[in-house]
Amino acid sequence: MAFCKTIRLITVLTVSLAMMATAARAQHQSGGNPTRYESKDRDQWQLPEKVVSLLELKEGMVVADIGSSSGYFSRRFSVAVGNSGRALAVDLDTVALGWLAAKARELGLDNLETIRAEADDPHLPAGKVDLIFFCNSLHHISNRVEYLQKLKESLAPGGRVAIVDFFKKKLPVGPKGLDHKLSWSVVYNALRDAGYRTVREPQGLPYQYFIIARPN
């Protein structure tokens, strides 16, 4: 009897600990707020419509948004590529991806798919993606050159990579610490070392640089 009670107690404790760990991970993943990159005032400096238009997306294209979080950009890509295209929202954060999947259903964005990435693998389809986009997310990738090299396998012929990221200095918006920002030259050199050439650097974002590159 005492043995059964002990087993039951251990089971209850194990399940409770697992639930606490899951809750803690969810809290950590989105900082407890899956929509923290969705603030209204962001539009004023992020200029999302300008960014999307500078990317020159066409109907039917496949666009991957790496580190999409709640899909601030993925949702716009979904609209820009139309029903025959696909927007792939890629993140490690299952809480943000869950929020985005529900939002996409609510908005009828049937061509938006969420993909749960691994730290070193975005799980993109091979040879199919016309644009791979990073906004304020490349600093999270540790082996950047290797990662960018591997991304070439996912690109369709003529495919591009685009990176939007904060200037590495104190700014009124974005992350406070400089360690969450990559300087333009670090990104430029990583692209070069991974075998890309810069094709365009659109100007006009107040706090961020913008690099569009293609494989050599």
From candidates 66, 87, 131, 151, binder to ligand SAM by CB under 6 A: 66
CA-wise closest residue to 175 among 70, 67, 36:
36
Shortest CB 188 distance to ligand SAM, Å = 20
Distances (CA, A) of 85 to 17, 162, 212: 43, 18, 20
If the CB atoms of residues 62 and 117 are measured against ligand SAM, the closer one turns out to be 117
If the CB atoms of residues 81 and 182 are measured against ligand SAM, the closer one turns out to be 182
- Cβ-proximal residues to 88 (8 Å cutoff; 6+ apart), any chain: 62, 63, 64, 65, 74, 113, 115, 124, 129
Per-residue x/- track, 81-100, ligand SAM (CB under 6 A):
---------xxxx--x----
Determine, following the binding rule CB under 6 A, whether residue 69 of this chain makes contact with ligand SAM. Answer: yes
Determine, following the binding rule CB under 6 A, whether residue 137 of this chain makes contact with ligand SAM. Answer: yes
Stretch that binds ligand SAM, among 9-17, 104-112, 137-145, 196-204 (CB under 6 A): 137-145
Shortest CB 63 distance to ligand SAM, Å = 13
For 26-66, the DSSP string reads: HHHHTTT-TTTT--TTHHHHH-HHHHHHHTT--TT-EEEEE
Tokens for 53? 């238009």
Q: Which residues bind ligand SAM (CB under 6 A)?
A: 37, 66-69, 72-73, 90-93, 96, 117, 119, 122, 135-137, 140-141
